[in-house]
Amino acid sequence: MDPPPPHPTVQFISECYITPKPSSEAPKKPVHFSVWDLAMLSVHYIQKGLLFVKPPSFDLTSFLHSLKHSLSLTLVHFYPLAGRLSTAKGEDGAGYTVFIDCENSSGARFVQASVDLTVADILSPRDVPRIVQSFFDHDRAINHDGHGRSLLTIQVTELRDGVFLGCSMNHMVGDGTSFWNFLNTFSEIFRVNNHQNPISRQPIHDRWFPENHGPVLNLPFTHHDQFISRHEAPPLRERVFHFSPESLAKLKARANQECNATNSKISAEFGPSSLQSLSAHVWRCITRARNFPATTITNCRMSINNRSRLNPPLSNHYFGNCAQTVRGTAAAGELLEHGLGWAAWKLHRAVASHDDAVIREWVNTWFESAFVYQLGDFFDPCSVMMGSSPRFNMYGVEFGLGKAVAIRSGYANKFDGKVSLYPGIEGGGSMDLEICLSPQSMGALESDMEFMDTVG
């Protein structure tokens, strides 16, 4: 019997570095980090990308030329992404300051690659193929690596009948809101034929600091080994589940009805949202799939945008990190004994109570005892972490290729229980959930009728 054919691998064709042009308009002053930025030093880059079907008259050479030129114009507005991290240490060794050096840098990285696969080869398997991780630069890199590696890489991987555009961005430079604002502006500049027209999302680069702090923040370390660690994910299955607008409406109605049954003052207007209802549903179903003892404590953590919750609020165009997590907590038996509405109300209250006072208390705590997130700490095998957001305009990123057919991510920031939320391709409030679980737990989730009946 002949041996099976080897699995296709990504072939890397070329790379170059893109700088802001015209460079005279790109600021050269260093960019200092806020509390939320510095806390991300030991976390992975953001890796998100879009899969497109090739248009009938697609010309790769012309496409790459336009993409590089558009990127150089976009970097004039998003100039920190063309820089590198730099560290300044005090003469007495007491001060340790990390910032973006916007002058001594070769720019953002641009990679061209190809793979002998079709769009169907990526989308048809039940699980996300492992090769998708090779569609992104900075595999397993942590943000501190931005001292020597690009803070941004665009990788264009050509398939037989498609194109994958993978974007890797240093997570210290910005959060998900910043990431998708950049990609949408990049796409917008491409679509207007690279003219230097005013852009619709002008980024705000002045970092937020509380009174009497900033712009230079010192970390209480003398060497990066004191706050750097590298997390290797355990064996995982990764699968994307689709939730239609109709399914989400039923989940929300059920959650609110159950809340109303126990508290007549709760109405759909003030009760759990669709996203909170879905998150509670996923929390309960994954907990059941993991088959924990009833006393095991579980959490459902949700990413939350601080911009509108600060007083005064920050613009949604604030470019940097301005996000935290909130959570609901319950013992496994208690979570499964109560209904969806009970769990959704816990998440709703966690979100509703996250206000200016809570945010500032967290910031003040950081100043009292500065810390850097460790990705291994997020890997809690008893919990679920809901990341990204279906509110991001992901499918508005087109680059003249028409609407993408899928959103996919790389290796970064994944662990057992990590869930990433994306808008569904048909819009209308639909959502896609990229769920990462141990093989055993994923198999149990796929056999969970309560969960699978809501998918599709």
The 10s digit of each residue's pLDDT in 378-428 is 678 899 999 999 999 999 999 999 999 999 999 999 999 999 999 999 999
Strand spans (E) along 77-178 = 84-89, 96-101, 108-114, 152-158, 162-169
Model confidence, pTM: 0.95
Question: Helix H segments across 111-169?
Answer: 119-123
Q: For a pLDDT cut of 70, what percent of the chain falls above it? A: 95
Rounded CA-CA distance 229/41 in Å is: 10
Long-range contacts of 220-226 (CB under 8 A, 24+ apart): 220/96, 220/370, 221/96, 222/89, 222/93, 222/94, 222/96, 224/41, 224/87, 224/144
pLDDT in tens, 261-279: 776 555 545 789 999 999 9
Same CATH topology for 11-226 and 237-391+413-452?
A: yes
Following CA atoms 173, 176, 180, 183 in sequence, which dihedral angle do they give, to the nearest 10 degrees? 40
Q: Distance between alpha carbon 182 and the CA centroid of its chain, in Å?
A: 13
What pLDDT, on a 0 to 100 scale, did the predictor assign at position 224?
A: 84
Which class in CATH covers the domain with range 11-226? alpha beta
Q: Where are the domains of the chain?
A: 11-226, 237-391+413-452
Residue 396 contacts residue 425 (beta carbons within 8 Å): no
Residue 429 is predicted with a pLDDT of: 94
Distance CA 265, CA 117 (A): 55
User: For position 175, what pLDDT does the model report?
Assistant: 98
- Of 295, 349, 354, which is closest to residue 324 (Cα–Cα)? 354
145-174 confidence digits (pLDDT tens): 999 999 999 999 999 999 999 999 999 999
Rg for the chain (alpha carbons), in Å?
A: 22
**Looking at residue 196, what is its pLDDT?**
58
pLDDT, tens only, 186-229 = 999 999 875 556 898 899 999 999 988 888 888 888 888 888 88
CATH 3.30.559.10 given to domain 237-391+413-452: yes
